[in-house]
Structure 1
Amino acid sequence: MDKVPMTTAGYAALEQELKTRQQEERPRIIQAIAEARSHGDLSENAEYHAAKESQSLNEGRIAEIEDKLSRAEVIDVSKLSGTTIKFGATVNLIDEDTEEEKTFQLVGETEADVKLGKVSITSPTARALIGKKVGDTVEVNTPGGGKSYEVVKVAFR
């Protein structure tokens, strides 16, 4: 059984989603099924079928979250230190073509969200950054072509 690396915040977010799905979504869906069932003939009851589908999706997501939590290897990033980029690091980069600064945190796959600057440890960008230090140049192959970055800061927070 593979461990899933996860930050403390990522683990807490999954726990919160699980709690919401079990304590709020599940009873709401059960109520919707009961209400739709009271409308009679189930064979042509769209509300009933929609509620059953919602129940299936919710229960599937609950099982998925429980699996991830059971395999989680929680890493407290605030206890990490050093100057070398590794899991949990928040990295500031300068795009050598545009001079634009970007900030990424390397996280587990389950908490990756590019819009929030959280990059999966398995992504091409993260793999290129692992082991680098401030001052290093990093070549990253992206879908839009090669990018060249200079590492300007490495922090663990």
Structure 2
Amino acid sequence: MSRGFVKEDDQEKIPIVPPRAFLPEGEINYVTQAGMDELLAERESLVLERESLNIADEDEKWVAQKFINAKIFLLDNRIDSAVVINLEDQPQNEIRFGATVTLKIEETNKIKTFQIVGVDEADVSKGKISFLSPLATVLTNKKVGDKAVLKRDNKDILFEVLKIEYI
């Protein structure tokens, strides 16, 4: 029988899983060790969540399990493709992946500190920006005292590198 003749309530409930942070096709999935630890902890948490589902209705339980399984599948792909960068191996006097960078915004003289991390680790509220972000891109290979220009539609923002650390 065609699915068009089945009552709406009888159709499978397909869970929609939000995608992970965007990583362009062919781009290497760099992560810090802390980022890899977070991915592994997230996986463990999802497995525990799936195992402890306490839903009486079998259909609802099935949907919840499928949703968690889909999230684990996406997460496993990220973990499998991750390349952990040892911060001690980075050139300590240059901005590269994993660097914690202190910058002065020239126009306002405000001081900002960011760490350049993988796409799954990025969280601006925690001072972590993706290595693919426009700011990280213009900062890469800079040294203390160098200036970097972030081109914006309405104006350019000039940054001066004050400090580079790998912590």
Q: Same fold (TM over 0.5)?
A: yes
Structure 1 gap segments, 5+ residues each: 43-47
Contact 1:5 1:75 (8 Å CA) reproduced: yes
Number of aligned pairs?
Answer: 142
Provide TM-score, normalisation by structure 2.
0.77
Question: Partners in 2 of 1:143 and 1:77 — Cα distance?
Answer: 34
1:40-119 equivalences in 2 (<5 Å): 48=60, 51-119=61-129
Question: Partners in 2 of 1:20 and 1:9 — Cα distance?
Answer: 16
2:49 is equivalent to residue 25 of structure 1: yes
Question: Partners in 2 of 1:113 and 1:69 — Cα distance?
Answer: 18
Q: 1:36 to 1:143 in 2, by over 3 A?
A: farther
2:57 is equivalent to residue 36 of structure 1: yes
- SS of 2:50's partner is helix
How well do the aligned residues superpose, as a CA RMSD in angstroms? Answer: 1.9
Question: Partners in 2 of 1:134 and 1:19 — Cα distance?
Answer: 40
2:148 is equivalent to residue 138 of structure 1: yes
Provide TM-score, normalisation by structure 1.
0.82
- SS of 1:111's partner is coil
Question: Partners in 2 of 1:76 and 1:128 — Cα distance?
Answer: 22
Deviation at 1:79, TM superposition (A): 4.3
Of Structure 1 and Structure 2, the greater helix share is in 1
